[in-house]
Structure 1
Amino acid sequence: MNKPTDNDGGGAPVPGVKKYSRFLEFYKKEGGEKDMSSIEHSNGRWLFVTILVFFSIALSGVLSLLLGYWYFNRQLGQDRKYEVKVAVSGDPKIISGDELVYLVDYANLSGVELRDARIHIRYPAGFSLLSVLPEPTGDSSIWDLGVLSSGATGQIKIIGRILGEKDSSKTLSSVLYFVPHNFNSEFQEIGSTTGKIVGSDLSLALEIPDEMYVGEKVRGLIVYKSLRNEPLGNIKIDFENPSSFEILSSSVLLDPVENVFIIKNAVAEGEIAIEGIWGAHPGEDKQSIKLLGELGDESNFYRQSEIEKTMNVLRSDIESSLVANGSAEKSAIYPGDLLQYSLSIGNKSDALLEKIEVVFVVEGKSDFNNSHLRKDFRLLDWDVAKFNAPPLVKLLDIPKDQSFIFERRQMTWGEGEYKELAKLSPEGEIELSLSLPVTSSAAIKNLLGVDDFGRIEMESHFEVRVGKTGGKSLGQVIRSNSIRSILHSDLALDSAIRYFDENSVPIGSGPLPPEVGKETKYRVFWKLSQSFHESGTVSVRAVLPDGVSWAGNIRVGAGEMEYDFKNKVISWKINQLPSFTREISAVFDIALVPEAKHSGQILVLVPKPSIEAVDLYLKSPIERYGKTLTTNLEGDSIGQGKGIVGE
């Protein structure tokens, strides 16, 4: 069947054919005038007209807005340069802690009224509002002015107290929002003033002897004062002292972690009584103690003043030294560890010391109220404590205002407990020792009654009391240095090596026991766990010995494991471990090819790995070690004992 054309008499017309034929007809005509009316136009003309109308309307709207804006600004600028004025004035030199007065002046100098006018004040950091006139209509920073008629003026008076560090700048700004008459857009005008802090209202002084002896207690005063004789508000005093100087007591509680005093709502003048001691000679006689004073609001403190006191520190004729696990200052302890103390006493005088008594005091402290603790909570297991000379032990009462202390225990040695204390010759020394196990993680959590907990530590020191010197009664008391032993996360690594799995299926290969010149493969299992305090930047590291090589097959539950072929270092790194991490594993294979010199020996396959991390609660480093793995395959029920290299 033929398709219908334009000349066909029957059939339905084919869309587009007629139009196309008309174009052909138009172009085929020769000699005649081209008649454009013979062309049938498409509906595209109507689309073009619609778009043209739309853009015409939009352009008219934009022109109207521009004309309105031009008209308003022309009206504002007919006679004056600035038609809406906002000016803020204040003292350019500021004394931190002092009262300040700011004036915010505003005026409508235009020829039209302004609607919906409001002022928004932006206060600088450290500013405390004391009074304002007139009162704000919203919060303390917003004033709704309503309609400002032409020529209207006004003023806001702000009185406040500002805190900041010396040489810092403080800016108070004011924004006036308004809508001009017969206009819908909002405009704004900004005014501000900036002042520089040139001094502080806080004055500090430290009254303490210029000369001190190691081991002897000294008393002093920290005096704070307002130079304008007005209440100071909140004060923080940082006590920066050499590590061998210790504050024993104070009339204001000293934060033992930050080493700061905080006085809230302080009056114009006050003092803090302190008692301190040089527990050991710092190495040089000239020493300095520094105080840093800060004033604060509800959320922040700002450094104000700094003083430094220099003194002479002299050696005593009686020396005392306390060491715990090799440290004379602060040390980390872990659940299940052994805390070993050494108390040393030396006679540096020319006289005989007699009737010596040693009193050792241990205090358990936490950063939470001890009302949460069970009464039988003990961080150290005193039932299995060991002494080179058993002392007299006494539990001391805990003051009601010191709820952060959960235990206070005293041990005393006299000549009856340790006969060497009866007499100590010149240049003679006496040493007492004791070891105390740290309670296990499970026991600590059970006794605390909580799953996760904060800072727990033991603080210890001892005193030497001398009855006679050179045959004369003396009653001299010398105090040792103090040691803080802080409980860290119980992060631990369990290491194992196997040839057979738990179902007695071989997962290693090669001869067992290993043989000279032949390769034996083993599988190593590392498992990390912890039950309190989050740990960060965890790194487990081990170096393979000669004759042992990396055999791959890595599987890790978290983090990344890498092997450095050049240095033979295995490293496993994890960004963060949650408080309750029961087990995260890493598995890898190693290979051993013994040499002739190894025949008849049990060989080390993986030396004890080191564990380094950060206790994220204490923000303190963690250093632990795993166990060494050998060819003896401890823990492999079938392979254990088959570790001696054969020929």
Structure 2
Amino acid sequence: MKFDTQKMNMYGKRGIIALGIILFAIGAYYFYLGVTSGGVNIEISTVAEAEVGVPLDINLSIRNESNSTLKDVKVSLDIPNGAIVVGAREGQIIETRSVNDIRPSSSYEERFQMIFTEGREEGEKLTARVSYTPESIGARFEKETEKEIPAVKEGLTLEAEVSETIFPGEEFEVILKYKNTAQAVFESAELELDYPKTVTITKTDPSPIGKEKRLWNIGDIEEGSEGEIVINATTLGESGTLVINASLNAVFLGKSFTVQNKKIEIAIAPSPLSLKVTANEDPNYIAKPGDMIRYTLSYENNTRQDFEDIVIQAKLGGEMFEFGTMANVPSFNNFTKTTLWNKGSNPELEMVGAGAKGTLTFDIKLKSDYPIKRLSDKNFVLDIEAKIESPTTTEGVAAGKTVGIANLETKVMGQINVDALGLFRDAGNGVINNGPLPPQVGKATEFTIHWVLKNYGTDVNEVEVSAELENGVVFGKEIKVSDGRLEFGGEDGKIVWKIPRVNATRGVISSPLEAVFQIRVTPRPEHLGTAMPMLSMTIVKATDSFTNLTITNFDQGMTTMLTDDPTIKAEEGTVIQ
């Protein structure tokens, strides 16, 4: 056998190169594993339990156990809701920092300071990451670690003492007690109160800031200190539940945070003198422009004692009222929009006996048109705030008089209008309609139909405009649709314009919506000497988003007597031979 020495040498060299590549790949693979998996370790260390308002030290330790220097190292810490990190910007959710290169077999530690602004019983999970580029590879890697904090203790407590049940008009007391249980000072603390407009603050200790009586300046709350704020108030709310929300705020790193919330619920018992208001004898009445509304005020003595010198008043609010049409009232104050009944106007109010009841009524008309001046003028309502009171009080009630309250809000439904116009000459839309005019028997004449849509008072959804083509009329083509889509039904001759939503005041403040399409009209012998019907009544239907009612409107059917086309004479609409 004869050997080719040159070939043997060539194959030997190739084998050595291949073996070298394989060994390099294996080495690189194990190096990669060393760098990306077990080669870099990170760990979070902190105290077992955090406390609101107390800076929490979070240490992130990085150990490089690989054989390569870690370059361009970045460490980051997720910032949970209800927490801030010293040095982070307002609203920041991740704090990221660049650190020095970490050489092989060396460690680095980065310290974060986190302050929780609210407590949580379920604890909090801390998440940290380190990203780096190994010097010998050039690719970028990232590792993540987590640590659970079992709980975040409340550092500042807020408790409320209040009566469980009160009567309308009765004075009640709320005592708000706060205490600092943390090992920190809560700086520039404030108490903020949110309560309905039916509540009147009569006295407080200490005094609040400003005329609205909603904010109290407490100042720094030192470690272990406590205090209280006493508030006296009355309410003219209806029977039900009075809700008052108290918030305790403190400043951390120059910014104020809410550290405690307290929801206070007080039951308002039905008044001994009850009052109810209805509109047109329907508790769920929905009004429309031009309505005449009869309001009924029904009162009743729910006790076994008599009430003397009854006074009943009703205050009206709403832009849709036509106040000049008020009827069946003894007097009306046009400045305060209030009417009043007493024993002078109604002798039966001198005394309302035990268990007695009665009614008062008055009428008022609504405006025929919506008072729209701005794009935001929509969702009109009619408000009635009624009150009954007597100087007679019941035993055990800490009030100077007996008061009953009744409020009624009536929504005014929207209105959508469609105007159907027919034109022969329509140069404004670049349309040239062909065919004879006046229309002739057996010959086709083209016309354009315009549907113009205007919407008043409320936003509407699922708008549908429709009409049917009359005999001898066929659909030509769509010319313009400003919104939605135009559909032609084919054999039934029905044309439908569908629009998902139309905002209030469209076509009143802004330009109206419009759909334009072409039809072809071919008169028959029976149409001779008359105006030929072209289009049935145009109907618009929509869902009122404010009242959830279906509202409809229409425009009359259309003939070849094109009253909307100023270029057409009346006789040109009559079909000729």
Instruction: Report the Cα distance in structure 2 between the residues aligned to 1:636 and 1:207, rounded to whole angstroms.
Output: 77
Specify the alignment match of 1:142 in structure 2. Answer: 96
Instruction: Report the Cα distance in structure 2 between the residues aligned to 1:302 and 1:575, rounded to whole angstroms.
Output: 42
**% identical aligned pairs:** 14
Letter of the 1:120 partner, please give it: S
- Does the 8 Å CA contact 1:85/1:106 hold for their aligned counterparts? yes
Matched, 1:414 2:342: yes
Instruction: Report the Cα distance in structure 1 between the residues aligned to 2:122 and 2:378, rounded to whole angstroms.
Output: 37
| Deviation of 1:492 (Å) | 1.9
Instruction: Report the Cα distance in structure 1 between the residues aligned to 2:516 and 2:79, rounded to whole angstroms.
Output: 59
Q: Which residue of the other structure, out of 383, 387, 398, is the alignment partner of 1:463?
A: 387
Specify the alignment match of 2:455 in structure 1. Answer: 530
| 1:244-283 pair list within 5 angstroms | 248-249=198-199, 275-277=234-236, 279-280=238-239
| Deviation of 1:393 (Å) | 0.6
Specify the alignment match of 1:613 in structure 2. Answer: 544
Instruction: Report the Cα distance in structure 1 between the residues aligned to 2:294 and 2:270, rounded to whole angstroms.
Output: 27
- Unaligned runs of 5+ residues in structure 2 are 1-17, 203-212, 222-226, 423-436, 440-448, 520-535, 565-577
Q: Which residue of the other structure, out of 430, 440, 444, is the alignment partner of 2:369?
A: 440
- Does the 8 Å CA contact 1:101/1:158 hold for their aligned counterparts? yes
Instruction: Report the Cα distance in structure 1 between the residues aligned to 2:297 and 2:340, rounded to whole angstroms.
Output: 12
Specify the alignment match of 1:385 in structure 2. Answer: 325
Instruction: Report the Cα distance in structure 2 between the residues aligned to 1:481 and 1:506, rounded to whole angstroms.
Output: 66
Q: Which residue of the other structure, out of 151, 159, 172, is the alignment partner of 1:219?
A: 172
TM-score (structure 1 length as normaliser): 0.53
Instruction: Report the Cα distance in structure 2 between the residues aligned to 1:469 and 1:607, rounded to whole angstroms.
Output: 63
Deviations 1:217-253 (A, max 9, x none): 45353747466366498999998xxxxxx7612669x
Instruction: Report the Cα distance in structure 2 between the residues aligned to 1:180 and 1:428, rounded to whole angstroms.
Output: 89
Instruction: Report the Cα distance in structure 2 between the residues aligned to 1:112 and 1:637, rounded to whole angstroms.
Output: 90
| 1:497-576 pair list within 5 angstroms | 528-530=453-455, 535=459, 537-539=461-463, 558-559=483-484, 574-576=499-501
Deviations 1:446-482 (A, max 9, x none): xxxx443577766431222335799xxx973423222
Q: Which residue of the other structure, out of 354, 358, 368, is the alignment partner of 1:429?
A: 358
Instruction: Report the Cα distance in structure 2 between the residues aligned to 1:73 and 1:309, rounded to whole angstroms.
Output: 63
| Deviation of 1:87 (Å) | 1.0
Instruction: Report the Cα distance in structure 2 between the residues aligned to 1:531 and 1:62, rounded to whole angstroms.
Output: 79
Q: 1:461 to 1:139 in 2, by over 3 A?
A: closer
Matched, 1:84 2:40: yes
| 1:615-630 pair list within 5 angstroms | 620-623=546-549, 625-626=551-552
Q: 1:195 to 1:572 in 2, by over 3 A?
A: farther
Q: Which residue of the other structure, out of 228, 243, 251, is the alignment partner of 2:181?
A: 228
- Does the 8 Å CA contact 1:540/1:612 hold for their aligned counterparts? no
Q: 1:94 to 1:236 in 2, by over 3 A?
A: farther
- Unaligned runs of 5+ residues in structure 1 are 1-58, 240-245, 253-260, 365-378, 396-407, 499-504, 508-523, 545-550, 590-604, 615-619, 639-647
Instruction: Report the Cα distance in structure 1 between the residues aligned to 2:502 and 2:175, rounded to whole angstroms.
Output: 43
Specify the alignment match of 2:406 in structure 1. Answer: 481
| Deviation of 1:216 (Å) | 3.9
Q: Which residue of the other structure, out of 267, 272, 275, is the alignment partner of 1:320?
A: 275
Matched, 1:157 2:114: no
Count the aligned residue pairs. Answer: 470
Deviations 1:544-572 (A, max 9, x none): 9xxxxxx99799875468999xxxx9997
| Deviation of 1:321 (Å) | 1.4
| Deviation of 1:387 (Å) | 2.5
Letter of the 1:344 partner, please give it: S
Q: 1:170 to 1:609 in 2, by over 3 A?
A: same
Letter of the 2:143 partner, please give it: E
| 1:47-446 pair list within 5 angstroms | 66=25, 69-70=28-29, 72-73=31-32, 82-90=38-46, 99-130=55-86, 141-162=95-116, 170-195=124-149, 203=157, 205-213=159-167, 215-221=168-174, 223=176, 225=178, 228=181, 231=186, 248-249=198-199, 275-277=234-236, 279-280=238-239, 311=267, 314-324=269-279, 340-349=294-303, 353-362=307-316, 379-393=319-333, 395=335, 409-424=337-352, 427-438=356-367, 440-441=369-370, 443-445=371-373
- Does the 8 Å CA contact 2:463/2:501 hold for their aligned counterparts? no
Q: 1:563 to 1:167 in 2, by over 3 A?
A: farther
Specify the alignment match of 2:528 in structure 1. Answer: none
Q: 1:316 to 1:275 in 2, by over 3 A?
A: closer
